[in-house]
Amino acid sequence: EAKAQGRNRFRFFAAAMQAMVQQRMTLETGLRTAIDNDRFEIVYQPQNALAGGELVGAEALLRWRDPVLGEIPPGRFIPAAEEAGLIVTLSEHVLTKVLSRIALWRRQGFVPPRISINIVAQQLREPHFVEHLCELLESRGVPPAAICLELTEGTLMEDLDGASQMLSRLTERGIAVSIDDFGTGYSSLAYLGRLPIHELKVDQSFVRGIASEASKRSIIAAIIDMAHALGMQVLAEGIETEDQLAFLKERHCEMGQGYLFHRPLSAEAFERLFVPCGGLPPCAAAPAARVV
Ligand code: C2E
Ligand code: MG
Ligand code: MG
Ligand code: MG
């Protein structure tokens, strides 16, 4: 009896394991095919100044809608790409696509606001990452100030010395760096002041707690004050309500990103924010944000 039960349980686990392995393999194959066939889209989520509301930047976010697998969120396929050893290839793909888009906008006479790009630890470990990035920028005629790199605390703290050198080299070349999801990982506060970082992005989990949790409000206030004391700017992620916005403004947080302002937008939809058209398409008048 017990033995039979054990056998059944084993069969169940074996089947579940096999399904998991199968799923992962399908995802891996899907990823490879998607990279090869350029099936990824980049969307741009606007970032706004909190005081005046003007557009100051955007975060480039990856989207994958597979013809067979459907829409797969980055929270699922990024870890899968990491495990499959495809993350550097995928990240390279993102970098190329975003820089080419910025170059296209510039050729069209637009001055796009700063575009932030998410960078993973594996990319920083590539021996010539900074040189490579600079070559990509140069070959497209994109100035370093046109982009900002988002690194998480985990990425920085994994190899503090390596990251520190890398950040100095990026800063020397005029490339800004932002710490993403700040407050969720483990940061050495002692090092934070010594790293050349331009911006802290307060994680959404704190912003979400503004209305209900006094502790979250205190933490945000402390993060903002600390960042300012260290000469950094602060951008709050995931702003969804007017109350959250009001609190962050009162605390002198400079910038924000979230559904209250905009959802992530297609390149074409984002581009419409560059020029004040006064709601009259097509933009015939000489718009303020165009290079003359
Ligand atoms: P992240 O870098 O922290 O990106 C912010 C995430 O918050 C995005 O989710 C964005 O759509 C979402 N978000 C923005 N505003 C709001 C809001 O008001 N409310 C809520 N609930 N969510 C909001 P997304 O696009 O699903 O990306 C999730 C994560 O996947 C990103 O977190 C980033 O870690 C990763 N990711 C996305 N694109 C890339 C990429 O191109 N490269 C790398 N390495 N990672 C990426
Ligand atoms: Mg990010
Ligand atoms: Mg984030
Ligand atoms: Mg996040």
Per-residue pLDDT tens over the stretch 77-112? 999 999 999 999 999 999 999 999 999 999 999 999
Task: Work out the pLDDT band at 287, boundaries 50, 70, 90.
Answer: very low
3-state secondary structure 129-146: HHHHHHHHHHHHCCCHHH
Where do runs of H (alpha helix) occur along 66-128? 74-83, 87-107, 121-125
According to the model, what pLDDT value does residue 203 have? 96
According to the model, what pLDDT value does residue 276 have? 54
Q: How much is the CA Rg of the chain, to the nearest whole Å?
A: 22
Task: Work out the pLDDT band at 228, boundaries 50, 70, 90.
Answer: very high
According to the model, what pLDDT value does residue 201 have? 97
Q: Considering the entire predicted model, what is its pTM?
A: 0.89
- Distance in Å, CA 29 to ligand 4 centroid: 26
Tell me the C-alpha distance between 290 and 274, whole Å: 8
Tell me the C-alpha distance between 222 and 233, whole Å: 13
Atom of ligand 1 nearest to the CA of 203: 3
- Closest to 185 measured CA to CA, from 229, 151, 142, 210: 151
Mutate-to-test residue for ligand 1 from 99, 237, 260, 266, highest number of ligand atoms within 8 A of CB: 237
According to the model, what pLDDT value does residue 23 have? 79
pLDDT tens string 256-276: 999 999 999 999 999 999 965
Q: What ligand has the least distance to the C-alpha of 202?
A: 3
Better-predicted residue by pLDDT, 282 or 247: 247
pLDDT tens string 181-213: 999 888 878 788 889 999 999 999 999 999 999
Q: What ligand has the least distance to the C-alpha of 258?
A: 1
Q: What proportion of the chain, given as a percentage, has pLDDT over 90? A: 73
**Residues 219/206, Cβ–Cβ less than 8 Å:** yes
Is pLDDT of 38 > 60? yes
